[in-house]
Structure 1
């Protein structure tokens, strides 16, 4: 039996979902590709154990978050800008909201951003998020609370827009 049997199928089946998670964590498509490639290179070395005994997707997701948090050397830092790019974005409100949200996410700490991505994008429970991050549920709750407060402070226009939408 090949030690890597099933790895290719796993990557083909879960690559898009893992890439979305990596992008939301890194905030840059090129860095997300680097992050995912680095993690998958490590996962393939553990594949024979994961395929036999573990949950490869959960392991890979946790590895993505851990690698993202521990990255010290960045190819280029994320720098928020007050100016919107001239090309590439639709001027409609939804697109502007995404730009504002992406910039606000970029200003969170890595752990706060990881908690927000896992809880609200991956739709994990507090317990599942704690398991992925290797921390307590209480830490997840406090990190989520602080991250959401920071997002509200960084992008109050999103809070106001959603509140107005709820009132309609």
Structure 2
């Protein structure tokens, strides 16, 4: 890991990192997060009877769209031609929570960690939006990078 922040120049000003000279390589990032909720809310989602419709479908599309729009949301991110984005949900009955996992791929000059993290965040927020009428105490959180592969810095795998 570098000991300096790459998005700051020698004077401490924010800059977009120059990636033009870097080789395009295959890169992947996996991020996870969760939404904690009342058990009754989770059961409503799992039954497919939420008033606003299919919570899983809406949250999946929100996550995919957010990954594609990350450079519009995070100021110094490069726009990327993503080759794959998947968003999956694992309901945890009895625990009142849903685990979210986003997997993003690109062949490019910079990584896709921010795209994976943004996908998880947006999917969690979409779940909140779809269910807030019945549960305003939901918590979206624990958003973290699990894995990244490719590029100069190599492989990172979180040990949980």
Give yes or no for TM over 0.5: no
TM-score by length of 1: 0.28
Higher strand share: 2
Tell me which of the two structures has the higher relative contact order, counting C-alpha pairs closer than 8 angstroms and 6 or more residues apart: 2
Higher helix share: 1
